[in-house]
Amino acid sequence: MAKVSLDDVDESLTKAEIDLSTRTKVLKDLEELLAALKAENAEKEKPPKKEPVIVCTDPNFDPDVPLFILHIEEGEDHNQIPHKVRQAVLSYNANKREKGKDDDCIETFGDACETLRGKQASEFGFFNTVKRPVIAIKTSNQIDTVDPQDEF
């Protein structure tokens, strides 16, 4: 939709030979409408920012175990993620059992991260945007400045 200034509207009304009182009413109504739209846009809440949390499904933090990236709203306690995922899994499993699909129930944290999506996760305060596990690697945090091919 094209944006039109009030001056352009006034000019168009003048060219159409609309009387001054009608033009004034129309422009006043448009100004009130614009003010109401601006106020409505200002009242809209911006969605909360989300911060990523990397979840390791192995208590010993073995780097060969897949990691999952979940998101929580900024400022929330990241230690609550296991509880939130558990609540979502209980709800998901209850729905599956009602439909007689016991085979589709979630049994592990990794399965939950791969299965729970969108509304199923966001109802419980976390967001799962990456369905596949992420692989982590260990480094020494050092970079060799000598190219191995340069050594003779």
Predicted confidence pLDDT, tens digits, the chain (152 residues): 467 787 888 888 888 888 888 888 888 988 888 888 888 777 777 777 888 888 877 777 676 777 888 888 888 888 888 888 889 888 888 888 887 777 778 888 888 888 887 788 888 888 887 777 777 777 777 777 776 666 55
- Verify that 67 and 99 share a domain, yes or no: yes
- Verify that 27 and 81 share a domain, yes or no: no
For the entire predicted model, the pTM comes to 0.58
* pLDDT (0 to 100) of residue 151: 59
- Verify that 117 and 81 share a domain, yes or no: yes
- Verify that 11 and 62 share a domain, yes or no: no
* pLDDT (0 to 100) of residue 1: 47
Total number of residues shown for the chain: 152
Q: In the chain, how many domains are there? A: 2
Q: How far is CA 60 from CA 8, 70, 141, in A?
A: 69, 19, 21
146 lies in some domain:
no
- Verify that 86 and 116 share a domain, yes or no: yes
- Verify that 37 and 85 share a domain, yes or no: no
* pLDDT (0 to 100) of residue 2: 60
* Spatial CA neighbour of 123 closest among 79, 87, 78, 74: 87
13 lies in some domain:
yes
67 lies in some domain:
yes
Tokens, residue 32: 């009130």
Q: How far is CA 5 from CA 42, 53, 66, 84, in A?
A: 20, 47, 56, 50
Tokens, residue 93: 């499993």
* pLDDT (0 to 100) of residue 63: 66
* pLDDT (0 to 100) of residue 148: 64
91: containing domain = 50-122
- Verify that 54 and 117 share a domain, yes or no: yes
- Verify that 54 and 83 share a domain, yes or no: yes
* pLDDT (0 to 100) of residue 14: 83
